[in-house]
Structure 1
Amino acid sequence: MPRRNQPRQPASQASQPSQPSVSSSRQNDALQEFQARRVQRRLDDLERTNPTDIPASSFVPAESSQTPAPGPLQQLPARKKQTANVRRILYNKKSLKDWLDELPAEPVPPYLSAIAPAPSIPPRRICSSCGYFGAYKCSRCAEWSCDRVCMEVHERDGGCGIGR
């Protein structure tokens, strides 16, 4: 009686025992070659993006290839494999001197380099006597006046530095 969770097999496959065929070994060989090429391509990419070498002291040495003597289970100190992220962090690690060397020699104060944009509208012509919109310009000092009365006040009271 078949179990519920297992898919049913056709009767022809159920009666014949499975035997490895030549095509399956070729598939396994092709799969292994594909995986090896993929690993090699990944290593080449890593080498290309890592132009300088990471110091050898930052890597964990490989385990020796000697086999342990037979006996009770031996607990060897387990070492974690160093991941790509750890290698990247070690590679990009900067000292304080490196950070200070990247700073500009003498920082320019912002108030010296701040520049306001040019105005998009012309300056307003304001009457120098009453503050209304100016229509006439003094020929001596180039200040604006709104009418003849304000122009006379400007000339009389010394608005342009002449008067009295």
Structure 2
Amino acid sequence: MPPRKARDQPARQANVVVGLAPEVIAKRTKRHLDELERSNYAEPTVSFLGEEDGDQSAKSRARQTISDKRNQADGGKKKKSSMNVRTAILYRKNLATLIDESGIASLPPHVPTYLTAVTPPPREPPRLMCSVCGYWGKYKCKRCAMPYCDLNCEGVHNETRCERRVI
């Protein structure tokens, strides 16, 4: 049998993506975080007004905590929650508002606070996470450089999430 001819395949180019400017990346990250902050807001679902024991539905009984059941069994009445707990539930605030109200920005720079906490830069490069499902993003979009993990996530990214930025 004659020796097989080796097929010469052309060398593939690596999926090289030109690095984006740090300003573009910072702007994109800030916009994404602002969008998450807006979508994370939830209206309070707990109502303290006009709650009577006689008109409790099965759904509300199923979600009742064990400590609430014990309190009702002991005295027959539900204990009133403290004003601080009630205020925290009714008037939820996002992290930026809580930081502003705490006044930690006015503390001296040598006092460690949430705003002054830093860590040394990492030794390894950042791990790419799929922008669709959160798995390890092995590939990058050629148009916007966002990572994705497989063909399914690439399709979702191209249809809905790609910012169509030419690099």
Task: State the TM-score, normalizing by the size of structure 2.
Answer: 0.29
Query: Which structure exhibits the higher relative contact order, with contacts defined as CA atoms closer than 8 Å and separated by 6 or more residues?
Result: 2
From the CA coordinates, give the structure whose radius of gyration is larger: 1
